[in-house]
Structure 1
Amino acid sequence: MSRGSFVFSPMALRSLEHDKDMLERCKYKRQLASRHLSSYMLKKEAMDKTPLRSSIAQLPAICQDLVIQNAFYTGDLEAMQRLFPRGSTANFVIEPQGGEMRWVARGEGLWSLTYEQDLTTPLHITAGRGFTECLRLLLQRGANVDLAPGGTTALHESCENCQPECTKLLLLHGANANAVSEDGLMPLHVCMSPESLECAKHLIQYGATINGRSLEEGDTPLHVAARNGLQDHVELYLRYGAAVDKQNDEGLTPLNAACSQPQELQDLGRYFKVCQMLLGAGADVHTMDQDKHTPLHMACKNVNPDIVDLLLAHNACVNDMDYGGEAPMHNILKVVGYKVSHDPERIVRALLNHGSIRVWPGALPTVLKHCSGSPRTIEVLLNAYSRLKVTDTWVESVSEDVLKKHKEFYESIFSLAMNPRSLQHLARCRLRTFLEGRVHRVVPKLDLPNFMKHYLLLEYRGYMH
């Protein structure tokens, strides 16, 4: 072993191999970008009918001058005006210094830490940071608006960073609204936040393809907007003719994509509005992805009660099975313990009122163990049965902390080990069995007091009887 070297553990070697693969991919990306650049110059030469050698001579040089780079990164317009007077050109590529350090193979089993960073251009830097006047100056000095040495154009950069003025300026100077990055994304695909709405409007105004698909996933801009809960983007794309039921490579429609996205409590409302718009535009609630998950499966898994109610109102099937043999009810019960604040009891109640299959009675202690943190969910679930065989296993399934917090409710359940269900409850079960999956439609129309209707629809009472 040579001086200054050391032995890597198997785990470290695997990590280095992973980094080596990443570096190979980065190298491939640079080669691909170089080919894109050469291809662009060849096409430009053909259009301009100039000799090949002139196009080669016009290939952008690489700038490593830190003074110039600093002017771009800080948006120093005065410095840029001095550095690029009238008649000069700003058409070059920048190789930034620094960046992330990676292990690089040096041969004979030796590795070293080296900085790696993608190539960029002055347009990318200024457009991504919103330096509109600096960007304007560079464009006036002949910077190539579609140059993509790092695999993306400056237009991608401005849209991804939500810089509408820069986006509009690039488009005014001929930027390709449908340019495809090396990751297979068009500028509309990188409009992923609410602040990017104006960028999306500019792109559509300048000819962006509303149903353009990404190369890797086959997503349309509507998929991206729905997945990110961007209601204004969804409304915009639908207004301009976006295909509401186009499936991506995983079989997801925009509606599936919206329902499948994990949602925090503060996100529930905007995802609901997205689904509402998609269904209003004719989205199909029955479309399944490759794993046979329907939008209802996904909405139950992510515990969005309003979306579940919406899907059920559009005749979603509560007993569709996925490839794993699970119905929407399985999906909601598996996550109740993690989403108590999302009101999972509303979903369980809605599914049962629409005729969902029930849990096998022998599995109720397991359900009780995982869902006991949501007493209302347990109440709704157990009130779907006319008889319950309460045993010591039930008592052991509820933790001491939960029992202490909801003592009255769980004691009412455990007391059923010695007592039958009430006659009132048995009458409710008999009527619900007779109505089967029509409970949600028939009960509201019955000539009964409201409190009786609510009781038949499994309203929460906070105790079992």
Structure 2
Amino acid sequence: MEVETARPYFFGDIGFWAERTEVHKAAYQGQVSVLQGLIQSGASVNIVAVDSITPLHEAATRGQTQCVRLLLDAGAQVDARNVDGSTPLCEACSIGNFECVSLLLEYGAKVNPTLTSRTTSPLHEACMGGNADCVKLVIAKGASLEAYDLYYGTPLHVTCANQHLDCVKVLLNAGAQVNAARLHETALHHAAKANNLDMIELLVEFGANIYARDNQDKKPVNYTRPDTPAAHCLQLCDSNPLSLQQLSRITLRTVLGTRAVDVITKLDIPNRIISYLLYQ
């Protein structure tokens, strides 16, 4: 089998430069036997194509788990970065492929790679894709709940902007800061812009500040459509202070932070109260 060769690549320390090799193609298309043959013939698993994309990036982008394992076993760099700084784990999280994400983490992929002006974290990517199981997995592996992206803000901002309610629940139960802001814009602003009642109610239950003003000096209610359930909900919150029960719940979760789930589930209290505290 003929293996493509390429001129040396001098701008990085991974492999060589090529347009798109047969290794990339096999990895992307999930051709396990072809990829195995190429590797056995001596093809580099770390060869880079345009934009510094490695075969592992290609396999992760399509959720080709068998190819991912084959490449990793052959020595592929698990945290290789493309020109935008994305790692294979970021790619797998973006498509919500749980099996592929699990495998990359098993092989030591960094759950908190250094962010740049062009990079989002694996948790951001999982939140954008709306896969709650992947969100839970990377959080369990230590993903930073407050990782900050210049364009999107925190993972909670991303999740609310994309209206993934299940992921919002996972983040909040894990201890994400409900009032974290990007340009003074909170997650509640995003929920209000989407007129998403369920999301608004959930955020308020976790202590979202209905009076927070963004860089346009607008409160969340200012972004809701008039006479909609979302608008009525925020107006009602404005005119009715939180109950002592709600305030106690918010205080408890604020104090416990990321330890809330572990601590609350071990308390000797009725399950209905645990469910209330965790909003399950």
Q: TM-score, normalised by structure 2?
A: 0.78
Report what 1:147 is aligned to.
47
Distance 2:14 2:224 in 1: 52
Distance 1:313 1:275 in 2: 12
Pairwise CA distance, 1:251? 6.5
Report what 2:271 is aligned to.
none
- Counterpart selection for 2:131 from 207, 226, 230: 230
1:353 aligns to 2:212 (yes or no): no
Map residues 18-37 of structure 1 onto 2, 5 A cutoff: 34-36=9-11
Q: Structure 1's 213 and 437: CA in aligned 2 closer, same or farther, altered over 3 A?
A: farther
Report what 2:150 is aligned to.
249
SS in 2 for 1:288: coil
The amino acid across from 1:203 in the alignment is: L
SS in 2 for 1:35: coil
The amino acid across from 2:188 in the alignment is: L
1:296 aligns to 2:188 (yes or no): yes
1:307 aligns to 2:199 (yes or no): yes
Report what 2:103 is aligned to.
202
Task: Report how many residues are paired.
Answer: 238
Report what 1:421 is aligned to.
none
Query: Which has the larger Rg?
Result: 1
Report what 2:255 is aligned to.
none
Distance 2:77 2:193 in 1: 40
The amino acid across from 1:208 in the alignment is: A
Conserved? CA contact 1:255–1:275, under 8 Å = yes
Summarize deviations over 1:340-387 as a string: whole Å, max 9, x none: xxxx832112211211xxxxxxxxxxxxxxxxxxxxxxxxxxxxxxxx
Distance 1:144 1:245 in 2: 37
Report what 2:243 is aligned to.
441
Q: TM-score, normalised by structure 1?
A: 0.48
Distance 2:95 2:86 in 1: 16
Q: Structure 1's 207 and 276: CA in aligned 2 closer, same or farther, altered over 3 A?
A: same
Summarize deviations over 1:305-353 as a string: whole Å, max 9, x none: 21111100011111111111111111112xx7xxxxxxx8321122112
Report what 1:166 is aligned to.
67
Distance 1:213 1:40 in 2: 18
Higher RCO, 1 or 2 (CA under 8 Å, sep at least 6)?
2
Give the structure with the larger strand fraction.
1
Unaligned runs of 5+ in 1: 1-29, 42-58, 61-92, 94-118, 264-270, 337-343, 356-435, 445-465
Summarize deviations over 1:66-86 as a string: whole Å, max 9, x none: xxxxxxxxxxxxxxxxxxxxx
Unaligned runs of 5+ in 2: 1-5, 247-280
CA RMSD in angstroms, aligned pairs only: 2.4
- Counterpart selection for 1:127 from 21, 27, 50: 27
Conserved? CA contact 2:180–2:187, under 8 Å = yes
Q: What percentage of aligned pairs have identical amino acids? A: 28
Distance 1:227 1:188 in 2: 14
Report what 2:170 is aligned to.
277
Summarize deviations over 1:109-145 as a string: whole Å, max 9, x none: xxxxxxxxxx011110001001001111111111101
Distance 1:210 1:40 in 2: 21
